[in-house]
Amino acid sequence: MKNLMMATLAFTLLATVTRAQDTPVVDVAGGYSVIQVLKGISATGYGGSGSVALNVNDWLGLVGDAGLYHSSPFGPGLDAGTYTFGPRVSYRRWGRFTPFGQVLLGGVRYAANGLAFGSGGGAEIGLDSGGRFALRPQVEYFGFRANGSTTNTVRVSVGVVLRIGRK
């Protein structure tokens, strides 16, 4: 009986360690993004965004996200940049498919500096058997607050993730 209990304990600990190894230490992502203004002016910004996430454990990560966008609805165009930070919650129990949600807060730079805030989510879809690369589609609401008004936008992105290290 004692041997059976020790074997059960050993298998439980090994399963926990094996599951923890599926979590990367850091996720680095880059991709193509489109930002669409929801109300008011008709503007769509095209560009790129990238993020770095430090995974605290198998479900919680701390993410920094930056993006650059260009829109030309009237004349020469409008350039904008975002820089945001916040927590990301991931569900890593479905093999190569890892859905996540995040809440971000930071800044936006276009005609003036302003506040940027958003929330949304997406999924990482593993591209290789080793788990180093993944495809990441995501959709997020972004609000930009500057000069006393808020601009509501939606950001749609698709990119590639490089997973570094194992926990």
What is the SS3 assignment for 15?
A: helix
- Check whether 139 has a pLDDT greater than 70: yes
Overall fold of domain 24-164: Porin (2.40.160)
Q: Which pLDDT value is given to residue 15? A: 44
Place of tokens 């591209």: 127
pLDDT, tens digit, for every residue of 8-64?
545 544 443 344 447 999 999 999 999 998 877 778 899 999 999 999 999 999 999
Burial environment of residue 107 by CB neighbours within 10 A (0 to 12, 13 to 18, 19 or more): middle
- Check whether 158 has a pLDDT greater than 60: yes
* Sequence ranges of the domains in the chain: 24-164
Per DSSP, the residues of 115-143 read EEEEEEEEEEEE-STTS-EEEEEEEEEEE
Q: Which pLDDT value is given to residue 11? A: 52
